[in-house]
A = this chain, B = another copy of it.
């Protein structure tokens, strides 16, 4: 994986729209946590909005609600066992960073850490909390994005439930069929 560079926040659909499983890091006061998350969608280009369901049973829920921040980290298929294991224990009982040997770097606009082994890190601030109580739905603004310059198509992993995943396959261009303003 190449060194990470700043990435335009208005373009993060490139990484999120295909629907990968992500690792969400959070920090509040003296606690730091990480969770696995699969229920998210891009909502807007500018501001760069992402909606995520974070069940209130997750230890991360209160850290994110209180700090109003998080980082969305995108792993590749090489990390699949870690992704599963992170989702199958609770930050209330273990320090997942230590248990899974996750190395992190400081974010620049939020207090939650960036996971180094993930090829994309999206620093997020809570933009709208109106649906947290009713649906556990958090609307975040991506305020800074980091992405590895290469490889061009890191192989993401997509959850289908029941302990099964789909790994990203081949990439296909259909640019020639698009009306320019729809690209």
Q: Measuring CB to CB, which residues of chain A are less than 8 angstroms from any residue of chain B?
A: 11, 13-15, 17-20, 38-44, 49, 51-53, 77, 80-81, 84-85, 87-88, 130-131, 135, 137, 139, 153, 155-179, 182-183
Q: A116 to B167, alpha carbons, bound, how many Å?
A: 27
User: Once the chains bind, are B14 and A17 in contact (CB under 8 Å)?
Assistant: no
User: Once the chains bind, are B169 and A163 in contact (CB under 8 Å)?
Assistant: no
Give the dominant DSSP class at A's interface.
mixed
User: Once the chains bind, are B19 and A161 in contact (CB under 8 Å)?
Assistant: no
Number of copies: 2
List of B residues within 8 angstroms of A14 by Cβ: 160-162
Interchain nearest-CB distance for A116 vs B (Å) = 23
User: Once the chains bind, are B155 and A169 in contact (CB under 8 Å)?
Assistant: yes
Interchain nearest-CB distance for A129 vs B (Å) = 13
Chain B residue at smallest Cβ distance from A77: B172
Known: A17-B159, A170-B169. A177 touches B84 (CB 8 A): yes
Known: A51-B51, A164-B173, A172-B165. A158 touches B81 (CB 8 A): no
Q: A162 to B179, alpha carbons, bound, how many Å?
A: 11
Chain B residue at smallest Cβ distance from A18: B158
List of B residues within 8 angstroms of A81 by Cβ: 174, 177
User: Once the chains bind, are A80 and B172 in contact (CB under 8 Å)?
Assistant: yes
Contact of A153 among B18, B80, B157, B166 (CB under 8 A): B166
